[in-house]
Structure 1
Amino acid sequence: MYSKKSVGLSLIVALVFAIAFLCASADMGIERVAAVPNENFRDDFFNPVIVSVEQSNDSPEQGEDVTITAHVTGIVNVTSVTLRYDTTEVAMRLNRGDEKDGYWNATIPGQPACTTLTIYVTARNAVGNSAVYGPHEKHWRDCSPPEIVTVSQDPEEPCGGEPEVITAHVIDNVGVTSVTLTYDRTAVDMSLDSGSATDGIWTATIPAQAACTTLNITIVASDAEGNQDAETHEKHWRDCSPPEVTIISPEEGRTYDTSSVDLIYAVNEPTRWAGYSLDGAENVTLIGNTTLEKLENGPHNLTIYAKDLAGNVGSNTVNFEVFAIAPTISDVKVTPTYALPGESINISADIFDYSGIRWVMAFITKEGEVAWTTWLSGPGGTGGVYTGTWRTMIFTEGGIYNISIRATDTEGNEALMEAPKVEIPIDTEAPVVSDITVSPTPAEPGIPINISAEVGDDLSGVRSVRGIVNREGEDVATVFMSDPDRDGIYTGTWRTMIFTPGGTYNIDIGATDNKGNEALAKAPDVEILEIPVDTEPPNISDIVISPTSAEPGTPIRISAEVRDDLSGVRSVRSIINREGETITTVFMSDPDKDGIYTGTWHTMIYTEGGIYNVDISAIDNRGNEALAEAPDVEIPVDTEGPTISDVTVSPNHGPPGTSINISAHVSDPSGVRWVRAYINKEGETVITIFMSPTGSGEGVYTGTWRTMIYTEAGTYSVDIGATDSRGNDALERNIREIEIIS
């Protein structure tokens, strides 16, 4: 037991500490939450202090738990802190700190959307004093938007001029506060037609719209929390009215004196298709206005149909009559209508007459005078397309030409129609000469001078182009120029001679068109260089002859380097001599233009053997000649006959009537002229076989002795005789035997 004195002392000490704590708290600026003091003041009269109350989420969503944390202090230990909400009270747990300065928490389970709870926090200490925080309201938000379940439209496909009723089925867990319909730039509130705010049918009406109008409509449903759901649809008002067709031609009740009647119509709106039916026939598609051709005499009815972009079809019908006497002329064409003299003008026309077409002509007139007439040809009968051509001449005068088409039927009725006019321009202008080039402009005598110019004449065309070469006012040469590629570029070449005098030459380009108009244009001058007087012959060197010893028939190649620096080399020849007489002349050329002249002496198989002298002759462009000796050529003298070997007979025996094949190898340097096989019996030649070379080209000659059924039996000897190209003979006697068995 404590004495009264000790208890009193303890109370005094506690009071002193409490006063000191309060003063210190005030000086430190700590905010305290007002708490309701305990009316029953016990021994310890100091209440707990609820410094703060915090929430884990100030604005929780539906179903979300909320943790309440209270900061509680006191001089005396806090023994409990409770949380009360609605009719529920739960003990808060000391989460951190201690009983004199600690944080206590408890959790309120998640609540339905839009729930509001009043909460209190009560703290008690060991002596029974308490402090209360509250009341405080806690609200759970509605985070679920309304749902637009369906949207229906009545009618589904409205026609122009019809109103449209929009119906929306909308649900919400708490309740829809508004549904808005927006179309174009107009917003209207939809009315709750049936059901409730949580599950209701909302309607609004869009006023009638014009056909082909398309509106974007948006429906927005909102709840009390501001949550929204929206749907957007496109609404189109159909064109349900058929188009109006107006027939301008043919006219109702009119009689036409031609079998071709214009079909002209109009429709009051865009169409995807139009067509017509004549006299109840199948529909014919129209692409704009047209002409009804080859109509029979008598009454007709025409119906024109038009389908608009929405598929609506409208029509109109007219009745008219045709009573045509003369032929009908239509679809007249003239091409071209602007032509140069010399060009062809094509004329065509569609002619029709039920009695038959006799003839069609085109009359071409100028200033009232007939310039030309041409027959148009066609299918005959009741008609068709007739064509003809007016072929203008290069000298046809310029001007405007009128063309008339005249058609006559088999009854003599005549029709006349004017065709498009044709303009032929009047040409008084000379050709245009441009882009003149002359190359080379300084040149040595004998060098070709190339001249080119672009010449054009758009009206009558270019007749001729010339390059006129002058020196000191006198014409030296005229170069006729041509346009091989037909591109207007005329070219020609002034071929100067080796003796052309040096100096300055003027060149003019003369061009004449097909109307005789002439143009003259100056071209660049040409400087022909002066060259020294050439009295020296060409220089001949590096003469090569191969081979220098050859069999008859062997080609002998000859080459030499020949140069002349002043006037140039005109010709080079090889002169072949034997025993002082010229046998042949070989003309030599310089294909690579490098000064090396070559030629070939083609000896013949019968060229006689011996020593041949070769001289090289070279002449320059001034006529100076050089002569140089070349190495001699030896053609061996052939006195030997051919060589005969490898003689075979097969078979070498047999009865009469057997064919005996004979072969031999025969060769000779000068060539083999012929080979023969002599068949002998008892020293007398019985038959001679002419042998021919085989295709192998290896000197093998063959022949056949075709014995007869009456050939005598016995032993026959074979001789082979051969002659070469020089006439030398060889004979191999008794080289083989043949036994004919009886």
Structure 2
Amino acid sequence: GVYRLKSASLTDKSGNRSLYRREEDIRDDDEEEALEEIPSFQVVKDPGTLSPLACQVERQDLSAGCSTALSLTLPQAPIGFDKATTVFWNPQNGRRLIYDIKEEDQVAAGVYRSELDIPDHEPQGSYTLLKITVKDRAGESVTYASNGEEDSLPLPVSCSFQVGPQTGDNTPPALQSISIVESRSKGNNREYRVQVKASDDLSGVEHITLRFQNDQNDHSVTKVLTKDDRLGGVYTGWLQVSRYEPDGTFQLDNVALMDEAKNYQAYCRPADIKDWNHKLPLPQAVSFTLSGGVSQADENGPQLLSVAPSKESIDAGDDLTITAKARDDLSGVDSVKLQFKNAEGKSINVTLKEKGSGYEGKVKSFQTKQEGTYRLTRATLTDKAGNRQVYTTSPQGSQLPLPLAASFTIND
């Protein structure tokens, strides 16, 4: 496969550490730097001699909740076998069952045997071997597939088994009712307590996904309820809506339910039912209205206006205060994070908090042990609606070039 650089950590002899990640992996609360280049390399698979010779299920007629033996025969390879992953497929419903066979499962020369467990409430049907991925001790692997999967070789063996109808769960959960019972303000959000009644005949509900949509601007909010949210047959949770969402009425638009046997059923508004989507009508209309005085959605990140260190030059080990000014069009600036670098690539990160009409943060003494001139290379601003804007000296994608320069010098 193709390996792309995900992160890099650098530590100097004084114990200072810098962590670099890909832009999409950086969280707002992380003091990390973005990788400006993403090098990669490709590992080409070598099938070698680890091609399956036989695959067999001890019993072909099974039932949900039972188990049997799965055997795999491989040639004796000089480098040795590590693990094989087998995937069985039920074409009637698209379900897949995955089983691993490992080196320690060897029972004879070239023969490996492991347990094939049928999950409780597994739907009935015929399962056939779809693919096998074999890995040797050197870490090389090759996939054999019957469906012509990309980067795979033809599957040289066949194997199948049947799951009978004795205890199979073939019926999806049923939605009975939905209601909003109370609301409250919490931080930058308005929260609505939703209650859902749903049932399942055998395996039980695994999760419920609710989606409400504001038809005036197509904004939507979702909430996922799990079996941990169930009390007395009712699933309950708080749906969060940013208080910076524009005013309007959010209608219950879609509810999706899945049980432990992976049976799935979706419900939608009657007008949205189509022959092809196999959805059922929602049992009732449910809605809530926002009226916080917001006329339009906040979809733009904040703007950086100025950055100013309190001193142009400090001695190693001293503190330094950084101030900045920023603005946001609607919800207001929530946080400002800055990164400075010297010529050797040593970085100093500082998070600024609101103070007066601007933002202020402190570069602490443990960060100023290495001399050099540190220049602003990156600024990350987030508003109270969650919008984020990144300014950098090497912009990529949605990033913007830094609109200003700022620096300070640490003297030895």
In terms of Rg, which structure is larger?
1
Which of the five TM-score ranges fits, normalised by the shorter chain?
Answer: 0.3 to 0.5
Q: TM-score when scaled to structure 1?
A: 0.22
Between Structure 1 and Structure 2, the one with more strand by share is 1
